[in-house]
């Protein structure tokens, strides 16, 4: 598949816990789906993994780590949402951003296998939240999301023509240290369905 670059370090992969979840004020039902991530070739000298957490190497004064994770057609992702007024899909990210020298940006990308068009469906930016010295995971609201349904290109196929959906999906995460002392970090990403209160 052309949308993901060849993994530059096959022996080392970050693990992303994708949790497909319906959020409400009463509670949450969860289905866990894990995806192994790939380090972008440009990040070979900048990334660091500690357990399930990704970060920029502490020895660097500045640097960016780019990670990519496949999104698979499983769980709640296959269930359509139908009420633009009252539900949306959003990213729920457990991240570390301690201030001006750090930033974490996570995007959900859609690649149309028929047209070659790449679209960003969702974006999370740590700068929308107050900096903290520890990991945090703010709960998204319906305003943080977007109304769309997945259309996974998973067949059936007839020769080179895919008779199923149109698209492949992946998550791209960027951890950016722009100044000395910045500590961007990523612990987990979840694709969620958010319901209006």
Q: Which CATH class is domain 15-151+161-195?
A: mainly beta
Q: What is the pLDDT of residues 13-43, one digit of tens each?
A: 444 444 333 333 334 444 555 677 899 999 9
Largest Cα–Cα separation, the chain? 54
* Domains of the chain, residue spans: 15-151+161-195
- Claim: this prediction has a pTM higher than 0.85: no
Rounded Cα gap, residues 107 and 91, in angstroms: 8
Q: Are strands 161-162 and 53-56 parallel, antiparallel or unpaired?
A: unpaired
**b/e string for 29-61 if b means 16 or more Cβ within 10 A?**
eeeebebebbbbeebeebbebeeebbbbeeeee
């Amino acid at each position: 598949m052309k949308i993901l670059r060849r993994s530059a370090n096959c022996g080392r992969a970050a693990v992303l816990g994708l949790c497909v979840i319906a959020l409400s004020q009463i509670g949450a039902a969860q289905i866990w789906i894990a995806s192994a991530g790939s380090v972008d070739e440009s990040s070979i000298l900048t990334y660091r993994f500690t357990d399930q957490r990704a970060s920029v190497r502490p020895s660097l004064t500045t640097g960016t780590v780019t990670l990519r994770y496949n999104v698979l057609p499983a769980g709640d992702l296959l269930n359509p949402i139908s009420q633009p007024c009252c539900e949306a899909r959003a990213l729920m990210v457990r991240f570390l951003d301690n201030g001006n020298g750090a930033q974490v940006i996570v995007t959900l990308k859609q690649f149309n296998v028929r047209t070659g068009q790449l679209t960003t469906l969702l974006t999370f930016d740590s700068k929308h939240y107050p900096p903290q010295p520890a990991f945090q995971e703010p709960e998204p609201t319906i305003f943080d999301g977007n109304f769309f349904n997945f259309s996974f290109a998973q067949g059936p196929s007839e020769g080179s023509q895919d008779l199923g959906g149109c698209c492949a999906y992946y998550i791209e995460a960027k951890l950016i240290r722009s100044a000395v002392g910045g500590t961007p970090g990523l612990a987990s990403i979840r694709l969620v369905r958010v319901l209006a209160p």
